Structure 1
Amino acid sequence: MPVPAAVRVLVLGGTTEARRLAESLAGDRSVRVTTSLAGRVAAPRLPPGEVRVGGFGGPEGLAAWMREHDVDALIDATHPFAAAMSRNAAEAAALAHVPLLALRRPGWVAQDGDHWHSTGSLAEAAGLLPALGERVFLTTGRMGLAAFAGADLDALWFLVRSVDAPEPPCPARMEVLLDRGPFTLEGERELLRRHRIDVLVTKDSGGDATAPKLTAAREAGIPVVVVRRPPVPEGVPVAATPDEAVEWVRRF
């Protein structure tokens, strides 16, 4: 009897969930998985299976790549704030007639004792800071620092944590901390204390790797500005965990 062809799955990755998904799929002989990384991180953690690095050239380029490589299923496991890539994925899937799933870890939920200020953008977050504190722990990554570079924020001091060094424009008074999660609660407590942080800014990325900063801020009574995540493109089904995404693939 002929052996059924392996299901070709393209994972748009760069997240912990994407790597865990690739690890699960790579051990299944009925699946051939390729993970695509944007290439914005200098030394990414490569998942098992095939890996490609770099952009596709918009939705048309992604659709063409999927046709050329006979992709059977597309999983958007990019960062919850990679809105442009998610839109491209939805459009490309429609162009190539390939089923699409979004893998999104759940967002964080405020707990008793939290002092959260929800905003819709980095610019809105920046506008809240002068009324909240003077020493800012900025954990939104190296992209988008221009929102905090305005002259009206020159009196504030920023501790910017990112995986790679940021590029200008940046806040006028800034110290950069190059580090990659997961982070510990004890480490986050010490960081807030040592730098005398009085306000935290973060995106609602969700997950456990960077959540200890929220607990540390709650314990210290520090306000937290939380940038809401953009919605998943309309009509795209969502899996909350890699296991759910694996089950979706196995239906093929």
Structure 2
Amino acid sequence: MKHSILILGGTAEARKLAERLSGDPRYRLELSLAGRTLVPAEHAVPLRVGGFGGAEGLADYLRENGIAMLIDATHPYAAQISANAAAASRLSGVPLLALRRAPWQHQPGDRWRQVASVAVAVSALGETPRRVFLTLGRQELLPFEAAPQHDYLIRSVDPVEPPLSVPHAAYITDRGPFEEAQEAALLSGHGIEVIVAKNSGGPASYGKIAAARALGIDVVLIERPELPDVEAVGSVDEMVERLAHALPPL
């Protein structure tokens, strides 16, 4: 008999955790993705794609499938999913562990302006036309139509359809990780003056932050939302160790 674990994923850490646990005979794993990415990365365990119907739907799923542990390894900005996970844990009695990567810390030479939201980031770009590199999700790009004076370079995992209604925008579809040298060449080649990004943390997308520091490029950094106060660890290694104690062999 195995412990059933449901991982709420969509991050590199969730994928690595699934890989680490997939060969462990103590666990039966399922990885859930919200379905926002058209072509998800390959994973080592069975996938479930799509929502649960809010916190109550997730709680029902946990009970009906005999889940022994719920792991929230979603993106630091997936605040609603994390809130639903916390509520579902309370409703179902299934314990919850969160895997939360640490945010990036300001370093000497960083030219950051930290803002509370995408809307504030749009205003922070100013009225003077600038070459802007946007590294946000497709759902967060629409507000930039309110600032059509800028020249945008937009990178996303999936194509941006429909494209933004602005006169100057170029699109790149690519999936990280992105190295600093690669990012520096991209920023220099496109004459980028400012980056708009989230403080996602982790190494996969830090290359643009390091490259911006080296090149003296401004970064408008959207702050993280408030997440539920639940038991959390900061790395895949910590999560594997915590699970070994929380779910002893049956």
Structure 2 residue 154 is the aligned partner of structure 1 residue 170: no
Q: Which runs of 4+ in 1 moved over 2 A?
A: 167-171
One-letter code aligned to 2:224? R
Quote the Cα distance in structure 2 between the aligned partners of 1:189 and 1:248.
38
Question: What is the aligned counterpart of 2:17 among 16, 21, 40?
Answer: 21
Shift in alpha-carbon separation, 1:218–1:93, aligned structure 2, 3 A = same
Shift in alpha-carbon separation, 1:171–1:110, aligned structure 2, 3 A = farther
1:168 positional shift: 4.6
Map of 1:137-176 to 2, 5 A cutoff?
137-150=133-146, 153-168=147-162, 170=164, 172=166, 173-176=168-171
One-letter code aligned to 2:105? V
Deviations 1:156-192 (A, max 9, x none): 1110100001235735121111111011222111111
Structure 2 residue 5 is the aligned partner of structure 1 residue 6: no
One-letter code aligned to 1:249? L
Deviations 1:71-118 (A, max 9, x none): 011000011111111111111111111111111111111111111000
Matched-pair contact (CA < 8 Å) for 1:9–1:71: yes
Give the % identical residues: 47
SS at match of 1:143: helix
SS at match of 2:138: coil
Matched-pair contact (CA < 8 Å) for 1:14–1:78: yes
Quote the Cα distance in structure 1 between the aligned partners of 2:144 and 2:80.
22
1:49 positional shift: 2.1
Quote the Cα distance in structure 2 between the aligned partners of 1:97 and 1:53.
23
Question: What is the aligned counterpart of 2:87 among 60, 84, 91?
Answer: 91
Structure 2 residue 180 is the aligned partner of structure 1 residue 185: yes
One-letter code aligned to 1:176? Y
One-letter code aligned to 1:13? G
Question: What is the aligned counterpart of 2:206 among 189, 208, 211?
Answer: 211
Shift in alpha-carbon separation, 1:91–1:38, aligned structure 2, 3 A = same
Shift in alpha-carbon separation, 1:20–1:50, aligned structure 2, 3 A = same
Question: What is the aligned counterpart of 2:72 among 73, 76, 82?
Answer: 76
Matched-pair contact (CA < 8 Å) for 1:12–1:76: yes
Matched-pair contact (CA < 8 Å) for 1:130–1:156: no
- Correspondence for 2:111: 115
- Correspondence for 1:194: 189
Quote the Cα distance in structure 2 between the aligned partners of 1:130 and 1:168.
25
- Correspondence for 2:232: 238
Question: What is the aligned counterpart of 1:228 among 215, 223, 233?
Answer: 223
Matched-pair contact (CA < 8 Å) for 1:102–1:232: no
TM-score (norm 1): 0.93
Structure 2 residue 240 is the aligned partner of structure 1 residue 250: no
Structure 2 residue 32 is the aligned partner of structure 1 residue 32: no
Matched-pair contact (CA < 8 Å) for 1:133–1:199: no
CA RMSD of aligned residues (A): 1.4
Quote the Cα distance in structure 2 between the aligned partners of 1:132 and 1:13.
39
Shift in alpha-carbon separation, 1:132–1:219, aligned structure 2, 3 A = farther
SS at match of 1:130: coil
Q: Which runs of 5+ in 1 are unaligned?
A: none
SS at match of 1:110: coil
Which stretch of the first structure deviates more once superposed, 49-58 or 115-124?
49-58
